[in-house]
């Protein structure tokens, strides 16, 4: 049967919110600060696929397990730069995260940087990750007098410092500053701007409404570029080949005229991509994991017992991180409920039909709503409940493929996944072994959206064990 006959005979209309206004579209109920959470609520009513029209621009959201399984088929679908991500090209250009599929620098940089995420490379980062975790505990040891710690802020300090040192041998002196590094403030501003203007900037009216915010965003982007240029200058100023990190891989390829060498501008794009993506998502994952640990004392006790059994009192070796299997399940379950990179776009590379029902022509795209996918009925009767045992091997085997996507999918999935997991498990183990953590009893989880997700206003009181 041809694609056209499928369109005529076997298609179904994609549902949309009830109150659609002329010209404006589905704007009722939109909160520009929480568009993802708004979409999750709409999906609860409309189902696993729905559309939103905003100022004449159509967004299709999908979250059904069967749909996402098909969208993960690389023979029919590929990455699509959804508007929120595409707007970050002002920041990341054709870097790994924001490159279009056809841009040659994506495959060049991927080939060039893949060795930095092999097991031997990961082993070389382990000592630095331990050092930064120790700096966090020294910083927190000064706050065991009952003064609450701002978890998201401190996890951001830790992860920025880790990627700065491991990837580029550059320190942001994060724990020596009374306030977050200006890089973080500029980054949060840029990500928030992209999130809040996703639905409106694709129209002339929307661009008019965001002019003042665009000027502020331009200043943030300029500062981020200045910081990255300083990181590169600091390396080049040494006059010698640097340590075997991400920056050295790129600079050496340029010096030696490697077939996969990338130009000066793309080196900047890759550096800013790793500095932003390499710390923002991991800090959110750690923050959510600590939130759930503080709310589930039985899980916390079990995780701590595992750390004490596997690590004892010694500094953990590289191989001992992966042995914290229950702590890893805590991390995975936190990422299930609140994946810190919460959506990704997929576009059709051939004329096709999604789940035999929804026709898609080449170039048509949908946005996979990951938190909704992670709450699909395949996750059980109460998918909202926090349960690390969801990631027991037997439960994983019992579920269909492609229902857990916190790192994206396909060849454009997160290149730094193992880096992030190793760092996060190491840090959680370090915190559990050293502190009793107590969350504010009246705190209600509030999610800050800035393309990535982060708990807002979440604090802990620490007691040194």
Q: Which residues are catalytic?
A: 281, 407, 414
Rounded to whole angstroms, the Cα distance separating 317 from 209 reads 53
Determine contact, residues 370/453, Cβ cutoff 8 Å: no
Determine contact, residues 52/200, Cβ cutoff 8 Å: no
Rounded to whole angstroms, the Cα distance separating 66 from 49 reads 11
Tokens of 16: 């949309």
Tell how strand 57-62 and strand 365-369 pair up.
parallel
Rounded to whole angstroms, the Cα distance separating 158 from 262 reads 29
Rounded to whole angstroms, the Cα distance separating 222 from 182 reads 12
């Amino acid at each position: 049967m041809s694609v056209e006959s499928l369109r005529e005979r076997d298609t179904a209309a994609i549902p949309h919110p009830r109150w659609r206004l002329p010209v404006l579209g589905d704007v009722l109920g939109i909160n520009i600060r929480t568009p993802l959470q708004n979409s999750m609520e709409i999906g609860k009513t409309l189902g696993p696929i729905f559309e939103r029209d905003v100022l004449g621009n159509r967004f299709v959201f999908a979250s059904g397990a069967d749909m996402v399984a098909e969208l993960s088929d690389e023979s029919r679908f590929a990455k699509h730069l959804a508007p929120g991500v595409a707007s970050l090209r002002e920041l990341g250009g054709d870097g790994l995260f924001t490159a279009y599929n056809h841009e040659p620098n994506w495959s060049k940089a991927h080939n060039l940087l893949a060795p930095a995420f092999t097991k031997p490379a990961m082993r070389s980062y382990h000592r630095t990750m331990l050092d930064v975790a120790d700096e966090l505990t020294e910083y927190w040891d000064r706050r065991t007098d009952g003064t609450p710690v701002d978890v998201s802020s401190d996890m951001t300090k830790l992860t920025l410092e880790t990627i700065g040192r491991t990837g580029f041998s550059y320190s942001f002196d994060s724990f020596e500053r009374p306030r977050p590094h200006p890089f973080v403030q500029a980054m949060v501003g840029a990500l928030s701007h992209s999130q809040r203007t996703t639905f409106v900037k694709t129209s002339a009216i929307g661009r008019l409404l965001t002019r003042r915010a665009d000027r502020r965003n331009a200043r943030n982007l300029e500062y981020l570029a200045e910081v990255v240029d300083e990181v590169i200058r600091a390396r080049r100023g040494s006059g010698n080949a640097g340590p075997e990190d991400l920056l050295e891989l790129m600079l050496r390829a340029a010096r030696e005229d490697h077939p996969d060498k990338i130009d000066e501008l793309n080196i900047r794009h890759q550096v800013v991509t790793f500095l932003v993506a390499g710390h923002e998502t991991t800090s959110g994952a750690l923050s959510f994991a600590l939130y759930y640990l503080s709310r589930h004392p039985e899980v916390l006790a079990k995780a701590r017992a595992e750390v004490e059994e596997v690590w004892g009192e010694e500094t953990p070796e590289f191989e001992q991180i992966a042995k914290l299997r229950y702590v890893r399940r805590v991390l995975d379950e936190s990422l299930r409920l609140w994946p810190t990179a919460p959506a990704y776009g997929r576009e059709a590379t051939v004329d096709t039909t999604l789940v035999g029902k929804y026709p898609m022509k080449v170039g048509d795209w949908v946005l996979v709503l990951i938190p909704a996918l992670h709450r699909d009925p395949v996750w059980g009767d109460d998918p909202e409940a926090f349960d690390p045992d969801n990631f027991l091997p037997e439960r994983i085997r019992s579920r269909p493929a492609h229902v857990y996507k916190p790192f994206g999918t396909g060849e454009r999935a997160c290149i730094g996944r193992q880096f992030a997991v190793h760092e996060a498990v190491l840090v959680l183990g370090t915190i559990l072994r050293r502190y009793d953590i107590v969350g504010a009893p009246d705190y209600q989880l509030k999610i800050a959206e800035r393309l990535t997700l982060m708990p807002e206003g979440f604090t802990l009181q620490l007691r040194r064990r």
